Amino acid sequence: METQSAVTPVMAMILGAVQGLTEYLPVSSSGHLVIAQSLFGLTAPELLFDIILHLGTLTAVAWFYRKELYEIIAHSWHGARRLAGGAAWGAVMAEYPGFRWAWLIIVGSVPTGIIGVLFEKKFEELFSAPGIVGAMLMVTASFLYMTRWFNPTHRGIEGMRWWEAVLIGVAQGLAITPGISRSGATICAALLLGLERETAARYSFLLSIPAVAGALVLGLRNGWHAPSMAAMGLGFTMSLAVGYASLALLVAMVKRGRLPWFSYYLFPVGALAIFFL
């Protein structure tokens, strides 16, 4: 296959749409980008362009959950002031739901950050191995299929324990493996732990914000090899618009218990990647 290193505007639109469609749908954006770049003959992803695509989907989730983020920031401020004034931790957690959300997001982000920093280079090597990515896509498919046997509960964020946030954070950290879906891993972990569906989805996506932001900062250390401004603008716009739409779709599907549907797509895609790439 002929190889090249430059991302053209047309490729930027396609890769942006792939990133937006797969970042929040539980099908692994990194895995699909590896496959797409392989099909385009790209020798390696342009780092800054990948960062721009992730910035687009990060903007999408921040806008989708803008009300929740406002509450988290406001309640964290008021909660911190109450704690400084001598209020009990449990009382503040009960009075300010946004403070509880912030605390659990911080707790869940710690194991994600540790895994990302310690094993970043190891996982980066897998981006050049489409066959391994295909196998990991099938692993993701297996976990999604298993959710058909998870019994829905009514336990929301008020009943979530700190150690459950740690376990979900570990699942998110392991999802830096290309082919393992971040949203799929975290939502499946939350459902397995007994959280109700809407809370599982919301926690998964809010937890992604510091994770993606941290990954962008780590990526910037490795240099700026920029494609054209047109390619970056098109990639960002497509990843934002398609990402917002796919996020809304997945939230609706999680509420209806439709996660196993995605496994029917991932099994054959993973098999094709293994045998043909």
162-188 residue pLDDT tens:
999 999 999 999 888 888 888 999 999
- Range with the poorest average pLDDT among 8-22, 66-80, 91-105, 187-201: 8-22
Position 3 scores a pLDDT of 44
Which one is predicted more confidently, 14 or 2?
14
Report angle CA 70, 76, 81 to the nearest 5 degrees: 135
Residue 6 reports pLDDT greater than 80: no
CA distances from 11 to 68, 153, 165, 192, 230 (A): 34, 43, 38, 38, 11
* pLDDT tens digits, one per residue of 32-53: 776 776 676 665 555 667 778 8
User: Rounded to whole angstroms, how far apart are CA atoms 176 and 179?
Assistant: 8
pTM: 0.86
Residue 251 reports pLDDT greater than 90: yes
Q: Which residues, 6+ apart, have CB-to-CB distance to 128 below 8 Å?
A: 44
275 closest CA partner among 145, 130, 104, 118? 130
Position 73 scores a pLDDT of 96
Burial class from Cβ neighbours inside 10 Å (0-12, 13-18, 19+) for residue 154 reads exposed
